[in-house]
């Protein structure tokens, strides 16, 4: 099993370019199964979750491959099957998007429950009840979902009890070719939702209101080919800024979208970091000691994103004072805390609250990643620790970060993959 070896304590400096967004690329790749012609996706990150999605496309009968570093080509003229085997479903949470897409294309789909980072139960009850409202018969037996829309998918008015990102995206995928109009009330407003709508509209769909709480999808006959550029990854950007905050240094980040990151920038400014942004660049500098911040509550967009919780927590471990995180989105998203404490952090978890008492120093240690963003948090802390850290189970990190050790080495970090 591969490991990351990090020799901490070095200041960071230089310029990096942010990869395409995992959480936009994955629903967009699933959406390709709805399109008749060839799709070219620019700025597609080479991460293991994208390779998992490519395996599902290939299984369904599509032709898919990277044309060069980050340009993905998908040809979905012939979808030959409409079931997805358990071993492919289990690889990630985003496999659930293929339910809406394959149903939209073929009217039938058979899947098992999706996998993904263990952040709590992560049910798909909202996905299922929404699809049933659109005329899908869903039989659940021994973890297998047998879904058929005998009379085809029909538009419906769907009121989400919670603005679930995945549920909003699955409804969009099922609705674009459905008969009639679908309205999603209390839809998720994350930027990745707008990116999916942008892609689908480029293929001829009729979607309005993405990014607001009410999305309207008018079903069309078919979708055509297109070229599309995936948005930058706001969480990867938050991660590398957290690394610079934790280790100290000056960073220029390009190819990002500062407007997606207001709530995160606000926290960095409270920490005493200097943050300027212009167009697709962020100019960032941080010196020690950082300051503790007011309580951070993870919320749906445009609130503070749950995906940035671990990396900001890692950057705050040595901040002067007491910081508090309240994790409101997932039940079990503090698994990185125990590993941070092995490095000398002083963090107390009570239910969904984590209290961080700033310490003078962190020490290199052997730690294990337990999920994608928690693993990125361990990298962030190791960069600011004295001595050498060894991070194992880094396959979690590779799910969402393209060549993390190369990016960090390019700005002066002592990091290598073994």
Residue 56 contacts residue 49 (beta carbons within 8 Å): no
The yes or no reply on residue 291 touching ligand EPZ (CB under 6 A) is: no
Residue 17 contacts residue 206 (beta carbons within 8 Å): no
State which residue has the least CB distance to ligand EPZ: 166
44, 102, 124, 251: which one contacts ligand EPZ (CB under 6 A)?
124
Stretch that binds ligand EPZ, among 10-18, 32-40, 77-85, 157-165 (CB under 6 A): 157-165
Residue 300 contacts residue 190 (beta carbons within 8 Å): yes
Q: What is the DSSP string of 36-101?
A: SSEEEEES----HHHHHHHHHHHHHT-EEEEEETTEEEEE-S-----B--HHHHTT-GGGGHHHHH
Residue 5 contacts residue 17 (beta carbons within 8 Å): no
Q: Which positions from 51 through 80 interact with ligand EPZ, judged by CB under 6 A?
A: none
**Shortest reach from residue 370's CB to ligand EPZ, in Å:** 12
Cis peptide preceding 273, ω within 30 of 0: no
The yes or no reply on residue 28 touching ligand EPZ (CB under 6 A) is: no
End-to-end C-alpha distance for the chain, whole angstroms: 9
- Enumerate the active-site residues: 117
**How far is it, in rounded angstroms, from Cα 397 to Cα 401?**
6
Stretch that binds ligand EPZ, among 138-146, 164-172, 196-204, 390-398 (CB under 6 A): 164-172
The yes or no reply on residue 167 touching ligand EPZ (CB under 6 A) is: yes
**Shortest reach from residue 278's CB to ligand EPZ, in Å:** 27
The yes or no reply on residue 329 touching ligand EPZ (CB under 6 A) is: yes
For helices 372-383 and 309-316, angle between their N-to-C axes, nearest 10 degrees? 20
Which of 105, 99, 109 is CA-nearest to residue 130? 99
**Shortest reach from residue 189's CB to ligand EPZ, in Å:** 10
Stretch that binds ligand EPZ, among 98-106, 162-170, 338-346, 350-358 (CB under 6 A): 162-170
Between 358 and 377, whose beta carbon lies closer to ligand EPZ?
377
**Shortest reach from residue 32's CB to ligand EPZ, in Å:** 16
The yes or no reply on residue 164 touching ligand EPZ (CB under 6 A) is: yes
The yes or no reply on residue 389 touching ligand EPZ (CB under 6 A) is: no
Between 117 and 313, whose beta carbon lies closer to ligand EPZ?
117
Residue 259 contacts residue 394 (beta carbons within 8 Å): no
The yes or no reply on residue 335 touching ligand EPZ (CB under 6 A) is: no
- List of residues 6+ apart from 47 with CB closer than 8 A: 19, 22, 398, 399, 400, 401, 402
What is the gyration radius of the CA atoms in the chain, in angstroms? 21
The yes or no reply on residue 284 touching ligand EPZ (CB under 6 A) is: no
Between 110 and 122, whose beta carbon lies closer to ligand EPZ?
122
Stretch that binds ligand EPZ, among 7-15, 75-83, 158-166, 278-286 (CB under 6 A): 158-166
Which of 389, 402, 393, 394 is CA-nearest to residue 343? 389
Q: Which positions from 213 through 252 interact with ligand EPZ, judged by CB under 6 A?
A: none
Residues making contact with ligand EPZ (CB under 6 A):
22-23, 26, 93-94, 117, 120, 122-127, 162, 164-167, 190, 306-307, 329-330, 372-373, 400
């Amino acid at each position: 099993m591969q490991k990351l070896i990090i020799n901490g304590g070095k200041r960071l400096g230089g310029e990096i370019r942010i990869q395409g967004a995992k959480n936009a690329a994955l629903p967009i790749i699933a959406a390709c199964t709805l399109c008749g012609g060839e799709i070219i996706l620019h700025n597609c990150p080479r991460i293991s979750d994208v390779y998992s999605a490519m395996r599902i496309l290939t299984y369904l009968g599509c032709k898919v491959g990277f044309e060069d570093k980050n340009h993905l080509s998908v040809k979905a003229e012939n979808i030959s099957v409409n079931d997805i085997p358990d071993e492919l479903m289990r690889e990630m949470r985003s496999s659930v998007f293929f339910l809406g897409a394959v149903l939209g294309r073929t009217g039938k789909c058979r899947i098992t429950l999706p996998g993904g980072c263990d952040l709590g139960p992560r049910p798909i009850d909202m996905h299922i009840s929404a699809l049933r409202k659109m005329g899908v018969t869903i039989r659940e037996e021994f973890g297998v979902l047998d879904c058929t829309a005998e009379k085809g998918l029909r538009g419906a008015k769907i009121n989400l009890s919670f603005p679930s990102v995945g549920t909003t995206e699955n409804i969009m995928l099922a609705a674009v070719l459905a008969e009639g109009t679908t309205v999603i009330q209390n839809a998720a407003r994350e930027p990745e939702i707008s990116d999916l709508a942008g892609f689908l509209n480029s293929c001829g769909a009729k979607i309005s209101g993405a990014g607001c709480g009410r999305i309207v999808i008018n079903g069309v006959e078919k979708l055509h080919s297109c070229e599309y550029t995936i948005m930058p990854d706001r969480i990867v950007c938050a991660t590398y800024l957290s690394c610079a905050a934790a280790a100290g240094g000056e960073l220029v980040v390009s190819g990002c979208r500062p407007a997606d990151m207001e709530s995160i920038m606000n926290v960095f400014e409270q920490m005493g970091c200097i943050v300027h942004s212009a167009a697709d660049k962020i100019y960032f500098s941080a010196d020690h000691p950082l300051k503790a911040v007011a309580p951070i509550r993870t919320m749906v967009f445009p609130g503070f994103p749950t995906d940035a919780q671990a990396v900001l927590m890692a950057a705050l471990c040595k901040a002067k004072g007491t910081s508090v995180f309240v994790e409101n989105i997932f039940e079990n998203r503090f698994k990185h805390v125990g590993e941070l404490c092995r490095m000398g952090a002083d963090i107390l978890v009570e239910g969904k609250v984590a209290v961080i008492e700033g310490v003078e120093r962190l020490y290199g240690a052997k730690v294990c990643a337990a999920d994608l963003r928690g693993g990125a948090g361990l990298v962030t802390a190791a960069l600011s620790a004295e001595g050498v850290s060894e991070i194992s189970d880094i396959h979690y990190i590779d799910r969402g970060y393209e060549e993390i050790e190369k990016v960090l080495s390019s700005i002066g970090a002592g990091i290598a993959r073994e």
